[in-house]
Structure 1
Amino acid sequence: MGRFNLLKVFKIGKNAEFEDNLSQNARSTENALNQLDIEIKEHKASDKAHEAASIIHRGKSVAHWLNSYWSRLVNLIVNHDGNDIKEVVDGRVSLDATIHPTLNDRLEYDFDQVYKRFDFLPDINVILLGADPTGKKDSAPSIQAALDRAKGGKSVRVYIPPGTYKLGAPLINWGNTLVSARGATLLNYYGRYMMTNGDGSTEYYAYNGNGNIVIEGGLWDCRGTKISMRSNCFSFGHASNILIKEATFKDVQSYHAVEFNACRHFKIVDSKFIGFVDPDGTRYFSEAVQIDLAQRKEVFGAFGAYDFTVCKDGLIDNCYFGASGTAGTQAWTRGVGSHSSTIDYWHENITVRNCTFDDIDGWAVRGYNWLNTTITENTLRNCRFGITVSAIDPTNPAHTKNDKFEQLSKSQKFYHVVISNNTILKTRANEGIYVRGIGEDGFVRNVNIVGNIIDGVDGPNQAAIRLDSVRNGVVVANQLSNTSGDGVRMNDCVGVNVGDNQISFIGRDGIAAFGESTLLVINGNNIRRPGRYGIEQSGVLIASITGNLVTGAGYNKHGEYEAIRIANGARDILLAGNTCRSLSSLTNLARAGIYITNSVKRVVRYGNVCRGDWTIGGIVDNAPDTITDAKDVA
């Protein structure tokens, strides 16, 4: 609405002039009010005006904050607020010592500070320095000239306009640099790297290398079918504060699209990783995004020092991983992960969320020797394997040395894993979710697997969810179906609650526990048509199995399996309030609703309902000392 002026001093000499003054004021007021009414109605009728994306708060849209808060809400660890976990508390402290409520708040804050360093700097247009946007001549020297202006600690904004740029040499990013390459295609004609943050002439320690780097946009084409050298697209080491956003990485040969080695406070958002080339079939373990430590030159060849600095406080958010469609390429063999380790060192505070993985030829996410891990809200479609978080493999001699390179031949413990609200649609050869602790040396403490959907797990006898050597775990509110193996499988687990899951059309057992598993709570699960047992407890010591519904068990083979089976020397088992039903529509019937072998002792069993047709009977209890009333037992 435009400004309008009312008359404040009236001519009173003649009534006609005074009336004319009043009329002018009335017309001005009326016109202004009418215009205001029009603008208010237009605002009310506008969908865009009321979208969260159109409202700015603290420099970002309200939509950004709503999405951020929602993602963090669904990631909450039950019964933990962070105050009792030292690593998590440390991760919430920003570079200027401000303490934030969560790690995500801290990363948002730190990257806002990085952006402010660039706000008032002029752009350096690489074309003005001689870069060729037609791709006919080498533009690496011109782009490097722009990057070199950051030497000596200066800050620089490098603008690469839309076009195609040939890179005949790696770009060295000296830090304190924002590179804007939206709409630009950069072609790898060199080989080993497209960009790194050191030239090898200087060694950096801890996180004191060239940091404060922002990369915006760009199609970074490694041309993996055209070059003869194994390559990384980006290799960053010994740095803090690296943000990559809205970039595409294409057709990398053998190594990685982005490697973070000895980095902290790093983030990749809204980016794509498409196309991988494995010329000799030996790089089945290559990740699109690798998280690694400064162990030795063979692990990170760009530069040292090799001081065993790990990665901390990383976020991969809203990214896509899949195939490029280029002839001679495939989808990535892994999406995000690690594949090296050193005893007594861990990567910490790594989050992978809101990402999509299509046709990955290995694990979509492999957290290897990670502390404080969150993998949430991701979608996996037709990947060979699903999501895993694993302890160090003690059978791999390259992974079990200390920082003196002495061979210890053992694993090590790790803690705090959240895998939540992921949708996993068909894994071709392995588990949907696998949390892999390894014995007493490498057990996993505090595991939360909550709200995941897993539909379709192929391969021989593969589980939807598998836990090995977990200490304190929650497997709750998952929907699991169409697996070749078990719904939930536990090996050597202690203190795990499995509850309120919907498990259907499972190739083997709905819920199974083996080995030295103890202190289990299995409650409120709805298990439909498991191929073998609905619930199997083999050798378990102390378990409460209550309130579960099992229907149509044992359909793989007539008269061979039971809805609930307790066997192999299990001890101190409570069975109460379970409902087991056969289905008359199935040709193959289970032997019994509940079957307890004679090697089992100290069973308390009451209030179970096992109606229907069974080949032996509803309840078959061979234990010598079962108590079958609801009285207290001491």
Structure 2
Amino acid sequence: MKPGRYIIPKGTYRLTDKLYLTKNTKIIMDKGARLLRDHNAGFFINGRTGDSFTGYDGNGNITIEGGTLDGNLTARYKHYNAIGLARGQNIVIRDVEIIDVRGAHAMDINGCKDVLIEGCKFKGYDINYTVDGDGASYMREAIQIANHTEAGFNSFGSFDAQVCENVTVRDCYFGASANNPAYPAGVGNHGAVADLYMKNIRIYDNIFDGMTYAGVRPYKFENTLIRNNTFINCDYGIRYSNPNGNGTYDAGKAQSGRNTVIQGNNFIRSKIRDIYIVGWVKDGITARVKNIQILDNIFEGVSNAETMYLSFCEDVLIRGNISNITSRFVMGYYSINVSVKDNLVNGITNEVVYVSDATADGSTSYVGLGYTKDYYISGNRVENCGRSAFNMSGLDGVEVHSNVIVNASTETVGTRSAIVATASTRNGHNNKVRGGLWIKSRTFLNEFTVDDYLRKEVKLIVAKYTK
């Protein structure tokens, strides 16, 4: 297509080849305009085979607005990217509905800058995992935000792993179509390049409905904002994972993302976990996910799913959240400097905060090596937890104070302490435990002090709730 402004009126149009977008192109589709895919590729791409761009100097200043892109899988059952973009800057995709993509992405964004995706609908994803799964199909994203590599997007070059920068996804819907279930993942990536990070990714005011892997999957992202989204019936709401150093472009390095804010989201009935954030250790080097804020979210869960799982993280603030009916509020392994403050937690099947340096699968590789240290647990209100409210094992450095705990050990009444710090937990300091009806610790007996007035206050609260 030549540069210019194109208007597509209401109606259905059979598309027999993908459309090549050049610089300074604007496509406006009227409400009711439908492009019906009738070939084996996608709808739009901003380059041709043989093109080679550097930096963000590819085809940019592009707008696609309105209309429906129909994959027509009953007639054209073939993998395809609906919209493929690389090396462009100043790209807007607004109010577009993409229906039934097979085996690839609704939008594949590689090495682009200043991209806005708003008001779009991503409905329906199809893959036969047994016949033609490629190892990543089970985690495929509707919107992929990636480096430009030949393995990831080989339609045109250059393949120098240019990162994406300044990408915003807002006011979009991700879910099932009439014929196919929702995408495995809504927004994210599943590959990375050594020493390079996707930068300034903003994801807000979206709905992720029934994602079979995760609503949002950041993959070694830097400066990420995930705000005011709704996650409904997803396996994971947010699954933040990172390269372990064994990938094609990892150069043997495990590296993790940094600077993430997760704020004001609603998580409704996540099937496995609401938030999952994991770094790695390779060749003795710890690649922690750093600088995480989890603020003011609402978690409406199910009794066998966890709210948060943190492993190899550093500098984490969990504050002002409300969590109802989950397995655990915080499950923490090998993390440093974690603050759990001013949260309201109710109806936890197991522990509210469980911290250990030995994982649930029995791994003891990092026990006693200082990988798990410095937790600050304060100002939380806990009601009705099945086991201990706070259970700490192998933790080096902890403060617990100003918490109110109502009805701990509901699983088997009176058999567990409200707060447990095992003998392997050490260097507690300035602790004042408030609101624990039972306190069990061998190493903390001379370090914990109990506020007698607040102990009486909590007993009154318990009496009120057990009448």
Normalising by the residue count of structure 2, what TM-score does the alignment of the two structures yield?
Answer: 0.89
SS in 2 for 1:186: strand
Indicate which of 267, 276, 281 corresponds to 1:434.
276
SS in 1 for 2:240: strand
Indicate which of 348, 351, 358 corresponds to 1:506.
348
2:432 is aligned with what amino acid? A
Question: Residue 450 in 1 paired to residue 299 in 2?
Answer: no
Indicate which of 319, 322, 327 corresponds to 1:476.
319
Aligned-partner Cα distance in 2 for 1:171–1:542? 59
Deviations 1:226-280, CA, capped at 9 Å, x for gaps: 3132011000001111100011000001101011011110010011001111123
Aligned-partner Cα distance in 1 for 2:293–2:207? 21
Deviations 1:426-445, CA, capped at 9 Å, x for gaps: 011x2101222224532022
CA 1:206 to 1:325, structure 2 compared with 1: closer, same or farther past 3 Å? same
1:576 is aligned with what amino acid? K
Residue 446 of structure 1, CA deviation: 1.1
CA contact (8 A) 1:432 1:457 kept: no
1:411 is aligned with what amino acid? A
SS in 2 for 1:332: coil
Deviations 1:282-333, CA, capped at 9 Å, x for gaps: 321111101111122x31132111111011100000000001112xx11111
The CA RMSD over aligned residues, in Å, is: 1.8
For residues 138-157 of structure 1, the aligned pairs below 5 Å read 147=1, 149-150=2-3, 156-157=4-5
Indicate which of 54, 62, 86 corresponds to 1:205.
54
Runs of at least 5 residues in structure 2 that lack an aligned partner in the other structure: 358-370, 460-467
Question: Alignment length, in residue pairs?
Answer: 434
Indicate which of 417, 427, 435 corresponds to 1:562.
417
CA 1:295 to 1:441, structure 2 compared with 1: closer, same or farther past 3 Å? farther
Residue 565 of structure 1, CA deviation: 0.5
For residues 101-120 of structure 1, the aligned pairs below 5 Å read none
Residue aligning to 2:210: 359
CA contact (8 A) 1:570 1:601 kept: no
CA contact (8 A) 2:165 2:198 kept: yes
1:435 is aligned with what amino acid? I
CA contact (8 A) 1:571 1:601 kept: no
Deviations 1:560-584, CA, capped at 9 Å, x for gaps: 3210001142112243151134xxx
Deviations 1:368-424, CA, capped at 9 Å, x for gaps: 110001101000111121112222234xx325633xxxxx1x311432110000000
CA contact (8 A) 1:318 1:354 kept: yes
Indicate which of 397, 413, 425 corresponds to 2:268.
425
Question: Residue 538 in 1 paired to residue 387 in 2?
Answer: no
Residue aligning to 1:257: 106
Residue aligning to 2:336: 494
Residue 355 of structure 1, CA deviation: 0.1
- Larger Rg over CA atoms: 1
- Overall identity of the aligned pairs, in %: 27
CA 1:602 to 1:442, structure 2 compared with 1: closer, same or farther past 3 Å? farther
Residue aligning to 1:226: 75
1:386 is aligned with what amino acid? G
Residue aligning to 1:605: 449
CA contact (8 A) 1:167 1:188 kept: yes
Aligned-partner Cα distance in 2 for 1:271–1:448? 28
For residues 110-509 of structure 1, the aligned pairs below 5 Å read 147=1, 149-150=2-3, 156-183=4-31, 184-280=33-129, 282=133, 283-296=137-150, 298-326=151-179, 329-394=180-245, 397-399=246-248, 401-402=250-251, 408=252, 410-428=253-271, 430-439=272-281, 440-457=285-302, 459=304, 462-483=305-326, 485-509=327-351
**Which one has a larger percent strand, Structure 1 or Structure 2?**
2
CA contact (8 A) 1:513 1:537 kept: yes
Aligned-partner Cα distance in 2 for 1:256–1:379? 21
Residue 610 of structure 1, CA deviation: 4.8
Residue aligning to 1:44: none
CA contact (8 A) 2:61 2:91 kept: yes
CA contact (8 A) 1:355 1:377 kept: yes
CA 1:607 to 1:198, structure 2 compared with 1: closer, same or farther past 3 Å? same
Aligned-partner Cα distance in 2 for 1:181–1:559? 65
Aligned-partner Cα distance in 2 for 1:458–1:293? 38
CA 1:383 to 1:225, structure 2 compared with 1: closer, same or farther past 3 Å? farther
**Higher relative contact order by CA 8 Å / sep ≥ 6: 1 or 2?**
2
Aligned-partner Cα distance in 2 for 1:458–1:263? 41
CA contact (8 A) 2:380 2:402 kept: yes
Runs of at least 5 residues in structure 1 that lack an aligned partner in the other structure: 1-146, 151-155, 403-407, 582-592, 614-634
Stretch of structure 1 that moved more, 276-285 or 542-551: 276-285
CA contact (8 A) 2:9 2:30 kept: yes
SS in 1 for 2:105: coil
CA 1:400 to 1:171, structure 2 compared with 1: closer, same or farther past 3 Å? closer
Runs of 4+ off more than 3 Å: 599-602, 608-613
